[in-house]
Structure 1
Amino acid sequence: MNTNRLSAKLEQALSDQMNTEDLQSRTYFSYGIWAADKGYAGISNFLFRHAQEERDHAVKFMQYVLNRGGKPKITELAAPGEEPTSLTHCFDLVFQHEVNNTTGIYKLVDMAFEEKDWASWNFLQWFVKEQIEEETFAMNLIDKLKIAGGDRASDESLFALDKTLETLPDDAEQAQDATGANP
C-alpha cells in the first residue's frame, strides 16, 4: 500500500530544499573557516553555530518528507562558492544567501497552496517566519559592521565586533516558540 501523502512534484521540491539547506550549512561553515583564518574567532564561532542551524533546517525537511510517507533524495552538493574577500563581502553574501533561501521557501508555499496540501502549507509556515528572522539576522550583521566602520573599521572596532558576535545569541526569538497568542 502506498502511504505517501505528497505529490511527486512537492516531494521532489521538498527534497531539493533539504539539499539547499544542507548547502547553506556548508556555505556558512566555509565562511566560518574564512573568518577563523583572518583571525576573527568570534565571528567564526558565530558562523559555525549558524551552519549548525542550517543543517537542522535540512533535517526538518528530511523528517517532514519521511513523516508524510515520502523518501527524501540526497543529491550531490556543489562547493559553497566564492570565498569572502572582506567582512563586508562576507556579510553581504550571508544576506544574499538568506534572500535566495526565502525565495525558495516562498515557491514551496505557493506549490503547497496550489496543490491544496494544507499539511505541507502549514509545515512551511515555520520556515516563512524563520526566514524573516534569518534576513533580519543578516541585515543586523551588515548594520553592526557599518557602525564599526565597515572595511575601514579600526582594529579596536573590529575586535569589539568580533567579541560581540562571539556571545550574540544565534538568532531572534525561535519560530518554534511561536503560539497563536504570541506569533
Structure 2
Amino acid sequence: MNTKRLSNAMEKALSDQMNKEIHASHVFLSYGIWADDKGYQGIANFLYRHAQEERNHSIKFMEYILNRGGKPKIDAIPAPPADPESLTECFDGVFKHEVDNTTSIYRLVDLSMEEKDWATWNFMQWFVQEQIEEETLAKNLIDKLKIAGGDRATDESLFTLDKTLQETPNDAPLAQEATGEKP
C-alpha cells in the first residue's frame, strides 16, 4: 500500500528547501568564521548560532517529508560566497540571504495551495512566521551597524556592537505579538 502523502512535485520542492536551509547554515557558518578571524567574536558567536538554527530548519523539512511518507533527497551543497570585505557586506549578505529564503518559502506555500495540500500549507505557516523573524533580525543587524557608524565606525563603536551581538537573543520580537503590557 502506498502511504506517501506528498505529490512528487511537493516532495522535490520540500527537499530542495531542506537543501537550501543546509546551504544557509554553511553561509552563516562561513560568515561567522570570517568575523571570528577579524576579531569579532560576539558577531561570530551570533552567526554561529544562526547557522545552527538554519541547520535545525533543514531537519524540520527532513522530518516532515519522512512523516508524510516521502524520502528527502540530499543534494550537493554549493560553496558559500567569498568572504565579505566588510561588516556592511556581511550583514547585507545575511539580509539578502533571508529575503531569498523567504521567496522560496512563499513558493512552497503557493504550491501547497495549488495542490490543495493543506497539511503542507499548515506546516509552512511556521516558516512564514519564522522568516518574518529572520528578516527582522537581519534588518536589525544592518541598523545597528549604521548606528555604530557603518564601515567608518570607530573601534570603540565596533567593540560595543560586537559585545551587544554576543548577548543578543536569536529571536526578534514581532510587532504582532505586542500587547499593551508587552510592547
The bucket for the TM-score relative to the shorter chain is over 0.9
Q: What amino acid sits opposite 2:145 in the alignment?
A: L
What is the TM-score with the length of structure 1 in the denominator? 0.94
Query: Separation in 2 of the partners of 1:98 and 1:63?
Result: 22
Query: Separation in 2 of the partners of 1:48 and 1:117?
Result: 34
* Partner-residue secondary structure (3-state), 2:78: coil
Q: Which residue of 1 aligns with 2:80?
A: 80
Q: List gaps (5 residues or longer) in structure 1.
A: 178-183
How far the C-alpha of 1:81 sits from its partner, in A, is: 1.4
Query: Separation in 1 of the partners of 2:98 and 2:154?
Result: 28
Output one character per residue of 1:23-56: Cα deviation in whole Å (capped at 9) or x when no partner.
Answer: 0000000000000010000000000000000000
Query: Separation in 1 of the partners of 2:173 and 2:140?
Result: 14
Query: Separation in 1 of the partners of 2:83 and 2:94?
Result: 11
How far the C-alpha of 1:2 sits from its partner, in A, is: 1.1
Query: Separation in 2 of the partners of 1:47 and 1:25?
Result: 9
CA RMSD of aligned residues (A): 1.2
Output one character per residue of 1:107-138: Cα deviation in whole Å (capped at 9) or x when no partner.
Answer: 00000000000000000000000000000000
Return structure 1 stretches of 4+ with deviation > 3 angstroms: none
Q: List gaps (5 residues or longer) in structure 2.
A: 178-183
Q: What amino acid sits opposite 1:107 in the alignment?
A: R
Query: Separation in 2 of the partners of 1:171 and 1:30?
Result: 21
The number of aligned residues is 175
What is the TM-score with the length of structure 2 in the denominator? 0.94
Q: Which residue of 1 aligns with 2:147?
A: 147
Task: Within 5 Å, give how 1:28-39 maps onto structure 2.
Answer: 28-39=28-39
1:21 aligns with 2:44: no
- Tell me the percent identity: 70
